[in-house]
Structure formats: structure tokens, C-alpha cells
């Protein structure tokens, strides 16, 4: 019998190789507009994009604002005049085609389902991108629900996001539900605030700082062991 009946799984860099998808989508969107795709250009985009997503997780900006603002700032820094709205639209289309999985992600989902766990994808990503990536991946049959912040009107780490997930799955006993994710600020802090056990998926060996995940897993094998009593 598994330790947890219900498992909330983050998408990006927990199951999906978001870095690879982002790299390919950004390259295509930049090159189509005549910008060079270099390590420096990619680093510039990331330096703009990551703080905006952190601000979104803190509830300081909306997702609709950040996805356009990142390209407005990028075009400005590159000295161009491209429309950031269309830049973002094309980028998101290409990002939705990037359904690469992290090695072992499908095996993890298969094993958890075989053990009797219900799985839900719990993500702050852009809805049309996440649906496209999940639909094109082999993971879709394993999930009983897909909880996307843009669709439920609340984002991780807000308790309302997690309550929407629990309601969608009919979870009555929080002790039987666990949140698995790679991001401390949204996945782990949010799970803790919602009264859930958490598994911080951290193959990089980082420090959790002041946060105290229930478990820290350096591999999918460890995630599996924490969820399935063996």
C-alpha cells in the first residue's frame, strides 16, 4: 500500500525538461526575427524572465503581464522594434511543442499509478503550453487531473491553488496527499502552507534554506520510495 493515495506533481523541471524546451523555442523565435541566438542572448532572456516568474509566484505581477513584458524588455535590450505580443505568442507556440521528458519521468508516473496512486499535474505554466506538451507526451494517461494556475485563478504557492487541486481530486484526508516539485518557493512553500507533505525533487544537491520539506529526493528512485512504502 502506498504511503500517499494522491500525488501532485509539478511539470517543469520535475517531469518535463523545460530547459531544453525553452532553449529550442527561444532560438526559433529569435532567429525568425533576425536576432542572433548566442549564449549571451539566451542569458539576457533568462536574466529578464526568471525574476518576472519569481514576482508572479509572489503574487506581484500577473501572468498575462509577465509573458509580454519579458519580450518587451528583451527587444528593448537588443535594440529592436518587434511587437512583444506577437513575439510571446510565437514563443509559446514553439514552447508547446517541447514535450521532452526528464529521464525516468514516465517510469515514475507508471510506477505510482501501478501502486494505486492518483496523479495530478500541478503547474503555474501557461495553460495552452502545458496542455499541448502534456497531450503530446506519453504521460497524459497517468493523470486524473490537470491543475493549471491560469485556469483555476490562483497560483502556487497560494493555498487556493492547492485547494483547487484537492477539490478536483476529491481529497478528504490531506495526510494522504503529497506535493512533489523542484521549486522551493512555489512547490514546497506552497505545499507546506496548504498543510501537505512535500517532496523536494533536487538532483542538484542544493540547500532548502529555512524551508523544511518532508523529504528531499535527489532522484526519481528516491521520490518513488518516499511515496510507495517498500
Which residues belong to the active site?
A: 10
Report how far residue 67's alpha carbon sits from residue 85's, in angstroms, rounded to the nearest whole number. Answer: 8
Rounded CA-CA distance 70/189 in Å is: 25
Amino acid at each position: 500500500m502506498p504511503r500517499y493515495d494522491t500525488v501532485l506533481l509539478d511539470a517543469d523541471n520535475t517531469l518535463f525538461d523545460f530547459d531544453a524546451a525553452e532553449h529550442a523555442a527561444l532560438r526559433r523565435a529569435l532567429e525568425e526575427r533576425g536576432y542572433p541566438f548566442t549564449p549571451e542572448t539566451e542569458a539576457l532572456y533568462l536574466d529578464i524572465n526568471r525574476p518576472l516568474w519569481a514576482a508572479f509566484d509572489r503574487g506581484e505581477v500577473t501572468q498575462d503581464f509577465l509573458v509580454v513584458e519579458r519580450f518587451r524588455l528583451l527587444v528593448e535590450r537588443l535594440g529592436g522594434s518587434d511587437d512583444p505580443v506577437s513575439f510571446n505568442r510565437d514563443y509559446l507556440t514553439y514552447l508547446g511543442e517541447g514535450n521532452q521528458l526528464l529521464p525516468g519521468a514516465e517510469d515514475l508516473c507508471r510506477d505510482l499509478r501501478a501502486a494505486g496512486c492518483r496523479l495530478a499535474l500541478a503547474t503555474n505554466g501557461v495553460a495552452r503550453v502545458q496542455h499541448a506538451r502534456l497531450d503530446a507526451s506519453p504521460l497524459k494517461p497517468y493523470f486524473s487531473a490537470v491543475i493549471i494556475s491560469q485556469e483555476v485563478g490562483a497560483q502556487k504557492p497560494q493555498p487556493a491553488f492547492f485547494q483547487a487541486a484537492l477539490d478536483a481530486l476529491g481529497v478528504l484526508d490531506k495526510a494522504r496527499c503529497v506535493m512533489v516539485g523542484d521549486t522551493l518557493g512555489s512547490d514546497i512553500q506552497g505545499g507546506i502552507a496548504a498543510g501537505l507533505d512535500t517532496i523536494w525533487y533536487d538532483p542538484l544537491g542544493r540547500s532548502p534554506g529555512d524551508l523544511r520539506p518532508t523529504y528531499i529526493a535527489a532522484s526519481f528512485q528516491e521520490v518513488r520510495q518516499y511515496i510507495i512504502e517498500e
